[in-house]
Structure 1
Amino acid sequence: MRITFLIFDIYGMGGTVRTVLNTANYLAAHGQDVEIVSVFRKNKDPFFPIDPRIRIRVLRNSVAAGQVGGRPGIKQRTLQYLRVPKLKSRLIHRDDEAYDAFSLMSDVKIYRFLKSLHDGVLITTRPSFNLMAAKYVDPRVCRVAQEHLNFDIHPPGLQRAIRRLYPRLDHLITLTDDDTATYRRLFDSTGLDVRKITNSAPQVSCPQSSLDQKAVIAAGRLVPQKGFDLLIEAFARVVERFPDWRLKIYGYGRERDALQRLILDKHLYNHVFLMGPSRDMQQELAQASIYALSSRFEGFGMVLVEAMQCGVPMVSFDCPKGPAEIVTHGEDGWLVENGNVERFAEALMDLMGDDEKRRRFGQNAVRNVQRFDIQQIGQQWLDLLEDIGRNRA
């Protein structure tokens, strides 16, 4: 069967891109016919490696558009008109966090792509795409929707749309036990197959941290969800006792200026650094002694898995709903009451002041992360495809 992934921007960074590529690369390596359809392409080169056996199709190529010279023709002028702000998307749900990135032009391109499908498997990767697959895709196509956030986090309008339209899908893939239980309750009598296939660890050679660097690392989009403002607040308390430790935050996003002002206001300019994105987080993690996850909510927390691969102990808010299924409290890291900045600072200082505990937690992390190995998670995807093929036959 042809397997097609629909994603926002496969050339970007982030947990969804990483896990989609982990899965797609594994399937391609096992002889599956895989295509990734990326609505946008905003970078010339992909942030993460893509198996050359995977076909990539881009619906809205900003890189190519930027290379076109001369006066635009009628077609180009029409497309430019469709992109103006007053012609916002009609198909993307208004509660989608990336709603403003879409337009009437992207609607047309996504709709035409979806209507072109008549067989195979379509795997969609965000709620708006899941809803569009339910509404517009030929039912001869097996529609597999991924949920990367838990149901309770979605705004009420999006929750209502999910309740109404998800039963038209064939399979819904969740990341955590809690999510699986929630969605099974919601769709218990609909026939929708809800199953958990968690994210997998990237199949890379991970250098192991020596855990002797006085460095805490964090990574993710610089947006309110990731709680880097809370992390900076916590670190302001840490430096009073451990002034020789540093915090490095990797990533980019709209909150960068606000976070930089907070660093200055807290007089942390010699202690906290916004590093921008990194193409080799494994190397950065190998130079860290603690990983800090300060998110207000998470779908999973993919970067925690990457930190575990490098033997780095973790301090994480016990936010809904992913970290508690990754971090084993008191064994490979600390789970802290969600949003409690004081307790978060105390957990950081506990590991900073205890070299033996850091090393013990790091060794446990390397052992515990094996449950997220791509060989195990990839086999679950192959099992799903086998079930689909058998049912379709």
Structure 2
Amino acid sequence: MPPRATAKAGGQPQAGATQGPAICFLTGTLNVFGGAERMTATVANELARRGHRIHILCLGDRRSCFPLDPAVRHEALFDQSPSFRTHFLHAVARIRRYVRQHGIALLVEVDPLLTLFTLPACLGLGVRRIAWEHCNLDQDLGLPLRRLARRLSARTCRRIVVLTELDREKWVRNLRCSRVEVIPNSLPIPVPVQPAARTSRTAVAVGRLTDVKGFDVLLQAWVPIAKAFPDWTLRIVGNGELLASLTQLRDRLGLQQCVRLEPARSDIESVYRDAAMLCLSSRYEGFSLVLVEAMAYGLPIVATNCETGVRALLTHGENARLSPVDDPAALAHEIAAVIASPELASRLADAGRRNVHKFAPAEIAARWEGLLSRISGETGRNEIGVA
């Protein structure tokens, strides 16, 4: 493994800023277009602008797909993502060194899996640790160690932050953890003054090209849409390991002329502005930033009714049309209903846009600020004696 990155760190807090305890977000990397990575940057930026001392410490790769406020200090332990099997002890030692060197008082783990590193790294240092869960408790993303890490987080972290009330209930019931708080993800873009014009005949789907996003189902659903509404186009925007297989499926279904697979882009706002509808075909979602972004731009939404994020944000017939998971025919039926009825599309879009302000960055940052302030003021240790 290459040595620790030596690139120059991000800027320091601006003159006159409130100092307070040093807060560090520990994550794998910011160099992928993912929801957890985007939220880490968004929350860190907002807290830094409020005068807090903010660090983002990545396990590997100091590059970022998202802009960071100059006051956010951004470092990486390694030049590349370390191997858990061969570099675990090195990572633990480097986290401990960083925490001590910079006087980190509050450590936010952007994935409970990181508890496997932070628990030994922070022993005896008095650091208040918070685990930030971006998935739902039923999913381990193919890593059985995540289940162990969640149990350790439930026992040793000052708080578990989850994205939905449904997931909070699961942590309380299944892991017997009472220190769970719900803070939804923030809208990572300013709420647009004007919604999208929706004059195009374009549906968009945005997300990483992975199995859980269900883009294979969306492609199958688009076959009858292409026949019934030949002037409509589907844009799937995202990067991921399934690009080749999804491209092959699109071509096999004969959708080359009406479905475009496009790489992820930093100016995702332009994608929403040019769209008339958002389609989400996920098999599960922790909390879908895509849905909140689409609501902000006044797009009608058709989505699968998956746990837990979709059910926390959308209600069938009120602000979206929902279909069962893994059901292309049902998904196609709901898409067709929205295309065929401009009145329905407008009603869904207006309902979504009315509620999006509660996800504004300032609102969510204030909730994080309150949580971190309460944890800073707490005394004593948790149930197994780890600070």
Range class of TM-score, shorter chain: 0.7 to 0.9
Report the equivalent of 2:95.
Answer: 113
Query: How far apart in 2 are the matches of 1:60 and 1:132?
Result: 14
Unaligned runs of 5+ in 2: 1-20, 381-387
Deviation readout 1:113-155 (Å, 9 max, x if unpaired): 1354244100011232133223432350000001111111126
- Structure 1 position 143 matched with structure 2 position 129: yes
Alignment of 1:338-357 (within 5 A): 338-357=325-344
Is the 2:319–2:352 Cα contact (8 Å) retained in structure 1?
yes
Paired with 2:148 and 2:306, the residues of 1 have a C-alpha distance of 23
1:321 is aligned to 2:308: yes
Partners of 1:299 and 1:205 lie apart in 2 by 22
Alpha carbons 2:153, 2:160 under 8 Å: kept? no
Q: Hey, what does 1:287 align to over in structure 2?
A: 274
For residues 302 and 130 of structure 1, what CA distance do their matches in structure 2 show? 25
1:187 deviates by 4.0
Q: TM-score, normalised by structure 2?
A: 0.86
TM-fit CA distance, 1:164: 4.5
Task: Tell me, yes or no, if structure 1 residue 4 matches structure 2 residue 24.
Answer: yes
Contact kept in structure 1, 2:61 and 2:78, CA below 8 Å: yes
Corresponding residue for residue 256 of structure 1: 243
Asked whether the equivalents of residues 88 and 117 of structure 2 are also in contact (C-alpha less than 8 Å), the reply is no
In the alignment, which of 46, 58, 68 is matched to residue 50 of structure 1? 68
1:12–1:42 Cα contact (<8 Å) kept: no
1:27 counterpart residue number: 47
Identify the range of structure 1 (108-117 vs 251-260) with the bigger mean alpha-carbon deviation.
108-117
Secondary structure in structure 2 of the residue aligned to 1:316: strand
Q: Structure 1 stretch 319-328 or stretch 140-149: which is displaced more?
A: 319-328
* Between 284-293 and 335-344, the greater mean CA deviation after superposition: 335-344
CA contact (8 A) 2:92 2:118 kept: no
Aligned counterparts of 1:110 and 1:277: Cα–Cα separation in 2: 33
How many Å apart are 1:57 and its aligned residue? 0.5
User: How many angstroms does 1:47 deviate by?
Assistant: 2.1
What is the RMSD of the two structures over their aligned residues, measured on CA atoms?
A: 2.1
1:197 aligns with 2:183: yes
Q: Which residue identity lines up with residue 146 of structure 1 in the other structure?
A: W
Contact 1:163 1:186 in 2 (8 A): no
Find the counterpart in structure 1 of residue 5 from structure 2: none
Secondary structure of 2:326's aligned partner = coil
- Per-residue CA distance 1:90-116 (angstroms, 9 max, x = gap): 2xxxxxxxxxxxxx3476235421354
Distance 2:300 2:62 in 1: 34
Whether 2:233 is the aligned partner of 1:246: answer yes
What is the TM-score normalised by the length of structure 1? 0.85
Q: Give the secondary-structure state (helix, strand or coil) at the position aligned to 2:173.
A: helix
CA separation of 1:232/1:110 partners in 2, compared to 1, >3 Å: closer, same or farther?
farther
Counterpart CA distance in 2 for 1:157 and 1:27 is: 31
1:167 aligns with 2:155: yes
Which has the higher mean CA deviation after the structures are superposed, 194-203 or 111-120? Answer: 111-120
- Supply the AA of the counterpart residue of 2:68: I
CA–CA separation in structure 1 for the residues paired with 2:293 and 2:363: 16
1:24 and 1:311 mapped to 2: Cα distance?
27
Q: Tell me, yes or no, if structure 1 residue 122 matches structure 2 residue 107.
A: yes
Larger RCO (CA within 8 A; separation ≥ 6): 2
- What's the CA shift string for 1:19-72, capped at 9, x where partnerless? 1122111111111100001222275xx32221111011022235xxxxxxxxxx
Gaps of 5+ in 1: 63-81, 91-103
Decide whether aligned partners of structure 1 residues 146 and 53 sit closer, same or farther in structure 2, where only a CA change above 3 A counts: same
Q: Which moved more, 1:169-178 or 1:327-336?
A: 327-336
Equivalent-residue separation in structure 2 for 1:114 and 1:184 (angstroms): 30
Alignment correspondent of 1:41 = 61
SS at match of 1:120: strand
State the shift of 1:302 in Å.
0.9
Report how far residue 360 of structure 1 moved.
2.0
- What is the CA–CA distance in structure 2 between the aligned matches of 1:107 and 1:135, rounded to whole Å? 10
Distance 1:6 1:284 in 2: 30
Give the direction of change, closer, same or farther, for the CA distance of 1:286–1:201 in structure 2 (3 Å limit). Answer: same
